[in-house]
Structure 1
Amino acid sequence: MALGGAPQAYPQTSDRIPDHPVPHRGFDLIGWLSAPRHSGTPGMYALGPAARTPQEQRDEDGAGIPAWQLLLRAALNLVVAWEVFYYLGSLVNVEIRGFVVPKVGDGGGLTFTTWLVDLLEIALLVKVFGRMGRWSLVWRRYGRPLVRRAVVATEKKAVIPAQADGRPQAVDPWWAFRAVAEPGGLALLEQETASGRVNDVDHQRLNRALECVRDYPDRLAALLDAVRDHGSAACAHPSGLRDLPARGSGNDLLLRQIRLGTAEDVPKNPPAYRGVDLALDPTLLGTSLLAVGPSGTGKTVRLARPVAETLCLQALAGTAVVVVVGAADADLGPDSWYDVVVAPGDSRGRYGLDLYGGARRPEEGASRLADALLPEELAPRATLARQALQQVVGPFAAAHGRPPGLRELCLLLRGDADAWNGLREELRATGQLTDHQYDLAQRERMHGQIDDPGGLLADRLGLLDRPVFAGCFNAAPGGGAGDPAGKRTAPGSVPRDAGLPLFAMHALDHPLRVRIALPEHAHPEAARILARLAVGQFLHAAGTRQDRSLFAGLVVDDASAVIDTHSVRDLQRLRGAHAGAVLLLRTLSDLPEGLRAPLFGAVGGRMAFPGLAPWDGTLFAETWGTVWVDERDITRAPDTSGGMFKRTWRAIRTVLAGERAQTESVTTRRVERRRWSPSELAQVLPGGHAVLSLTAVDGTPVPPLLVDLRK
């Protein structure tokens, strides 16, 4: 049985259909599906501008040449090439005739040889004079557009297949259903599609449902019946929502992308990425992303909120589960975006938090709780703390069939005599005292000693055992949320004095949207404990879950309190568990120095915002490495060349201009330079921008790019 007799609060999957569906009105589903997309390059927004090909990059290099100069140079080289071919060809033909005619005569052999030599001459002349005259650039700038216009004009005259109303045929959004649906089974769905009542979330949700039940005939029949009877409202998310209120732009659910901004057209960015839109998707989020920058630089508004939004949309479509952790006043979307809102100390909280995460073994829940209670500066005592909690939670769960409540745990850790006698009597009554005698003896032996972590753990738990947090955490039987016999109720319908239903982090195999709002201003130390607890439970649950079909996303608005040795190690496991995290930091100085480099190595995405401290920029610069660049050295020296006339003229020009004539020598060499130096990251980045590097799950890298997050 799962550790935690409290009801595990997560919405159950149901077949109910919402009475008032709320999709986008007038959504052009066919147009959205038919929009041209380019994929294959990690980090590139498929609906934005495509990456420039090497040919287009060469065109851009010659874009600064005026048209008259380009055409004049091409024409001059063409005239010279023709003259060379005319006179050189005549001379060569005479030589060929004198060599070939005595052997093969003046018939077909001579003609073939002449043509072959002419072709070789033409190829040689085109290569030589075409390169000097930039004929390829002339063709790409003027010739190819003319040919394309001619081809388009020809295609317009061709017969285009049309529908009954005369419009061109478009993509069929329900082609996957047609292969399994009965005739007329998609009539309602097609009618809603034509009237614009089916949005992108509906399309992805229904196709996801079909993908899951395709190999199960009974479930497939039930799905087809629901689609026939309810159309696009079939298989709705347990919340009944089919879209997000106050939804922003830049989401492409077909490829599960969220647009972040545009890569600037600057020399720092590789030519292939200049001017393209950058986006995140589960393939990139699967390696996790670390963003560092001071407050007010846009980390929350331009990164955390968009990622939370797209993961919430994917959860409505049945492809993701998301947990968002941040201060109660952080702009991470309205509460209506989320199914579960855990807000300790706030009346808007509809759920409490299970301190043990719904762990199925006492050791797991106790270990996560101990790591959350002790800050990083007390990490050397973590081993003893975990052992102390396990020695209490394990016997208590065996005796009562549930973990200890918050108050009960505090009393047992402090060594309260009544609490220990009650635990012993319960174990004796259930016949398990012998099994847990050793743990009890070990714990009792530590009571009152200087190095006993029990008192410290109890004091830390006391920060949560306050009236303002009543009903928000595990309670003893009769306390509402801790009652093992209690029944789950709808969010918001349970009075606070009766306790809230508890959310357990092991529910990551459901398409949930979870918001944990921390009381950072009123109770900062309690907020740190809760943040560490929630993140630790997520990392453990995401890495050990059996069903990994859903992408598990974690967004932490301020990760300074949650980064420790255990979280860094667990972050590395997310890559293979179809999960990822977005961690925001104000400065790396908030972390112990020994954790900074391992954290950079554990994540595949790194993002530097303006105003970064130089010592923070050093780690970014070292991580991004160096690149080979062409460096030009210009040496100037007084001009002393020439005879008497030239020297006299230079002397007159020096008197008139006030400057001595100089000669310049230019030396070009390839040198290795940092992609971004710490001073550039600290001083050069403009507001609203960031430098972003990414790595896909398969190891494909995206180099550091200067991104305008406002576009």
Structure 2
Amino acid sequence: MDSDGTQDTRGTHANPVPRPAGPPDVPSAPAVPPRPARAPGMPPLPDGSAFLTWLRTPRPEALPGVWRFGHRPRPEEEPEQIPARQLLSGALIAFLVGWLIWSLLWNGYLGGFWMWPYYAVTPESWTQPQTEGEEVVGAVTSYLYYGLVAVMIMVGVGRLGRWSEIWRRYAVPSLRRLTGPRTEEAPPAPGEDPATWPALRAAGAVDAAERLAADARAGLMRDVDHARITRAWQGVRSGRHSLATFTGAVVKDGAAACPHPSGARDLPARQARHDLVTGQVRLGTTADDPRNPYAYRGTGLALGPDLLGTSLLAVGPAGSGKTAGVVRPVAESLCLHALAGRAAVVVVGAAGAGLGPADAYDVVVRIGNPDSVYDLDLYGGTTDPDEAAAVLAEALSGDLADPHPGSDSRRATTVLAQLLGPFRAVHGRFPSVPELRQLLDGAPGPLAALRQGLTDAGQDSLLRELDARERQLAQPGDVGGILADRVALLDRPAFAGFFDTSGQSRPFSLKALDHPVRVRVDLPERGHADASRMLARLVLAQFTVSVAVREDRSLFACLVMDDATGVITPEAVRAVQRLRSANAGVVLTLRTLDDVPRPLRGPLLGATGCRMALAGLTPWDGQDFAEVWGKEWTEARDVTDRQIIAESPAGKAAHALRRAITGKAPTARAVTVRQVERERWSASELAHGLPPGHAVLSLTDVKGEHAPPLLVDLRG
């Protein structure tokens, strides 16, 4: 068995993509793969101990966004916290009171009544000894009684002085810092140990479970292998594969079974912390701030497919950490999921943006770079002229403003369909960029040749389409000229070898998202900014169309766009809203919401379930986030200090003495508590109150559970 059912028809080698249908021809993995330097989140240990310790680490259920690896749940609400000064002073006073009581008892100032229980339960020979032995026994028992009384006094004053709270607050953390974290724990019971693959044993695949457990103990298994084989086992449980096929593949190849079409079992180098059991990648630490719910304070903040399935929008200026703190870790996590057969990922950014090494991807499309192995299919791999026209129209005219007559996507789609359909009927392919430009410009020669071809083929219905296009060319409001100007941005010498439709290049189509493919698209922003934005809109439009028609939606698909400037259009917003039902999502970053047309800012924030505002945000951008995050009821405490006026001579003298010691007049404090409705985060706080390297992030998962806006340190 060479796959888990999600990549059986198309590979991602340096061959033309898509490949012909059939099982992927992947060379067998080496018997002993190179061992990772360390298991995720664990220090290096001999043999397979690091992996086993990582696998056995508890991952309790937690609130959305909480890093579950080794998480210790906290109460939902913050317990009443006694101020440190009051706690320590109360403990000291309680100790002094206990010491005073013991001194009075020991020295007999309170009489001997406290000894009556001792006299009541001991024989007279111990209290009035006649022999040396009775004297020794009496002395020992009396001192034991003294100790019991001292312990009772200590327990009483300890409870009164809250000594246990001091121990938990100060002593325990100090001891943990001195002793260090625990690295070894008792292994779980065999029936509960995930390293023994109990699910496989329960289903009768004992041989496969034994082979996997042996590889885990020998250090031959890593987290990607575990996730990949778990994914393949899910295919067996769902009925896509037979148990015999799965068992045979695992017994033969062990941890290397069910490989990814690329044959890779890990990424070249990881920059972030990942947990493939839960599917999370850690972005930072939730700040210990009063504005964060108590259950989130100090916990790790992580994202996974359950949150990315509602899409993520991150807004922050250049240098705020969007790429390094958000895009790169998320892209790396999705590439690991793709190696495990769980996801398909497309990462779009400027050339040199640092979105990961080329070895971390199966397909790298470097548009405008003559050394690029792959090309980008301008028409998304479709053979339907109407579908191709709709996607291409979104890319060419999606950002045009309404004042342009007839420049909306619907009219652009009609114009393109009037040309693409006849051209494909005559030539069996869609037009190249220069050919499309000539047709949109209304050049007489290409249109006449196209008409002659349709006449010879007897395509009367398509002739009518071409007639309508020629009639519209003479009208002043025709959108064809605008589209021709946009296509001219791609008809440049730098792109001469790209967008080929003759079959001579290796075009990549987003139709391949049916499989766990890793794709990076480098845009030529330097010198071709307008063309880059148009191509980014094209990739987004093709992505939203392709994921909606996938046959296997158990594979999570995600588009990560490092800079979505000029990409947000009305159709794009509507498409993002539909991604959740297709088990897909997008990650979009913006320097400012001003890059989005004003009518689309609210719908965009509403269409994305996860919203992030990074440090350095402008006040007007902060206002949009403040509005979408809404308000909450909170307690407002008004404190009033009123000076105390003494009337008696003794009181005046006491006040004068207090003023001389403290330097302040005696006052009486009045506290008023009331419920008020305030913004969760105001525009001013977002613009001026976020420390560098921090962000405010709200989360919503695919099940509808959500987390309020959280202050997160992206550097932790």
Q: TM-score, normalised by structure 2?
A: 0.79
Structure 1 Cα separation of the partners of residues 167 and 663 of structure 2:
47
Establish whether residue 264 from structure 1 lines up as the match of residue 287 from structure 2.
yes
Structure 2 Cα separation of the partners of residues 184 and 647 of structure 1:
91
Q: Which residue of 2 aligns with 1:50?
A: 72
Q: Return the offset for 1:137.
A: 6.8
Establish whether residue 624 from structure 1 lines up as the match of residue 635 from structure 2.
no
Q: Could you tell which deviates more after superposition, 350-359 or 307-316?
A: 350-359
Establish whether residue 24 from structure 1 lines up as the match of residue 36 from structure 2.
yes
Q: Which residue of 1 aligns with 2:490?
A: 464
Establish whether residue 556 from structure 1 lines up as the match of residue 565 from structure 2.
no
Q: Which residue of 2 aligns with 1:14?
A: 24
- Residue segments in structure 1 that go unaligned for 5+ positions in a row: 1-5, 81-128, 146-158, 476-481, 484-498
Question: In structure 2, which of residues 462, 467, 471 is the aligned counterpart of residue 441 of structure 1?
Answer: 467
- CA distance 1:169–1:536, change in 2 (3 Å): closer
- Superposed, 1:580-619 pairs within 5 Å as 580-619=585-624
Structure 2 Cα separation of the partners of residues 11 and 22 of structure 1:
32
Structure 1 Cα separation of the partners of residues 576 and 351 of structure 2:
25
Structure 2 Cα separation of the partners of residues 638 and 219 of structure 1:
84
Q: Which residue of 1 aligns with 2:412?
A: 385
Q: Which residue of 2 aligns with 1:222?
A: 245
Question: In structure 2, which of residues 33, 57, 60 is the aligned counterpart of residue 38 of structure 1?
Answer: 60
Question: In structure 2, which of residues 483, 506, 512 is the aligned counterpart of residue 501 of structure 1?
Answer: 506
Question: In structure 1, which of residues 366, 375, 378 is the aligned counterpart of residue 389 of structure 2?
Answer: 366
Does the CA contact (< 8 Å) of 1:24 and 1:197 recur in 2? no
Does the CA contact (< 8 Å) of 1:48 and 1:277 recur in 2? no
The CA deviation string for residues 617-663 of structure 1, in whole angstroms up to 9 with x for no partner, is 11111222222222222223443343344346546876898765544
Establish whether residue 403 from structure 1 lines up as the match of residue 430 from structure 2.
yes
The CA deviation string for residues 157-214 of structure 1, in whole angstroms up to 9 with x for no partner, is xx99999xxxx99433433444566675566544432321211111111221232144
The CA deviation string for residues 511-551 of structure 1, in whole angstroms up to 9 with x for no partner, is 01110111101211111111110011112222332321100
Q: Which residue of 1 aligns with 2:90?
A: 69
SS of the residue corresponding to residue 58 of structure 1 reads coil
Structure 2 Cα separation of the partners of residues 65 and 647 of structure 1:
28
Q: Which residue of 1 aligns with 2:550?
A: 545
Structure 2 Cα separation of the partners of residues 198 and 51 of structure 1:
30
Which residue identity is paired with 1:346?
N
Question: In structure 1, which of residues 353, 357, 377 is the aligned counterpart of residue 380 of structure 2?
Answer: 357
Structure 2 Cα separation of the partners of residues 328 and 366 of structure 1:
28
Does the CA contact (< 8 Å) of 2:320 and 2:614 recur in 1? yes
Which residue identity is paired with 1:464?
L
Q: Return the offset for 1:360.
A: 4.5
Q: Return the offset for 1:508.
A: 1.3
Q: Which residue of 1 aligns with 2:134?
A: none
- CA distance 1:217–1:257, change in 2 (3 Å): closer
Q: Which residue of 1 aligns with 2:500?
A: 474
Question: In structure 2, which of residues 279, 287, 308 is the aligned counterpart of residue 285 of structure 1?
Answer: 308
Q: Which residue of 1 aligns with 2:705?
A: 700
SS of the residue corresponding to residue 53 of structure 2 reads helix
Q: Return the offset for 1:11.
A: 9.1
SS of the residue corresponding to residue 473 of structure 1 reads coil
Q: Could you tell which deviates more after superposition, 6-15 or 299-308?
A: 6-15
Structure 1 Cα separation of the partners of residues 712 and 309 of structure 2:
21
Structure 2 Cα separation of the partners of residues 400 and 299 of structure 1:
45
Which residue identity is paired with 2:394?
D
Structure 1 Cα separation of the partners of residues 532 and 20 of structure 2:
25
The CA deviation string for residues 242-298 of structure 1, in whole angstroms up to 9 with x for no partner, is 100111341011111111111111111111111111111111111111111110011
Which residue identity is paired with 2:24?
S
Structure 1 Cα separation of the partners of residues 75 and 707 of structure 2:
16
Does the CA contact (< 8 Å) of 2:395 and 2:541 recur in 1? yes
Structure 2 Cα separation of the partners of residues 622 and 254 of structure 1:
36
- CA distance 1:321–1:11, change in 2 (3 Å): farther
SS of the residue corresponding to residue 331 of structure 1 reads coil
- Residue segments in structure 2 that go unaligned for 5+ positions in a row: 1-14, 38-46, 102-155, 173-185
Q: Which residue of 1 aligns with 2:538?
A: 533
Does the CA contact (< 8 Å) of 1:70 and 1:134 recur in 2? yes
Structure 2 Cα separation of the partners of residues 684 and 374 of structure 1:
39
- Superposed, 1:137-148 pairs within 5 Å as none
Which residue identity is paired with 1:592?
P
- CA distance 1:385–1:402, change in 2 (3 Å): same
SS of the residue corresponding to residue 559 of structure 2 reads strand
Question: In structure 2, which of residues 554, 575, 584 is the aligned counterpart of residue 579 of structure 1?
Answer: 584
Structure 2 Cα separation of the partners of residues 136 and 649 of structure 1:
34
Which residue identity is paired with 1:17?
P
What's the % identity of the aligned pairs?
A: 46
Question: In structure 2, which of residues 507, 510, 518 is the aligned counterpart of residue 513 of structure 1?
Answer: 518
The CA deviation string for residues 107-131 of structure 1, in whole angstroms up to 9 with x for no partner, is xxxxxxxxxxxxxxxxxxxxxx99x
SS of the residue corresponding to residue 707 of structure 2 reads strand
Does the CA contact (< 8 Å) of 2:59 and 2:71 recur in 1? no
Does the CA contact (< 8 Å) of 1:71 and 1:138 recur in 2? no
**Number of corresponding residues:** 616
Structure 2 Cα separation of the partners of residues 191 and 658 of structure 1:
75
Does the CA contact (< 8 Å) of 1:373 and 1:457 recur in 2? yes
The CA deviation string for residues 578-603 of structure 1, in whole angstroms up to 9 with x for no partner, is 11111101011111111111111111
Structure 2 Cα separation of the partners of residues 570 and 343 of structure 1:
26
Establish whether residue 203 from structure 1 lines up as the match of residue 226 from structure 2.
yes
The CA deviation string for residues 330-349 of structure 1, in whole angstroms up to 9 with x for no partner, is 12111111111111112442
Structure 2 Cα separation of the partners of residues 635 and 186 of structure 1:
70
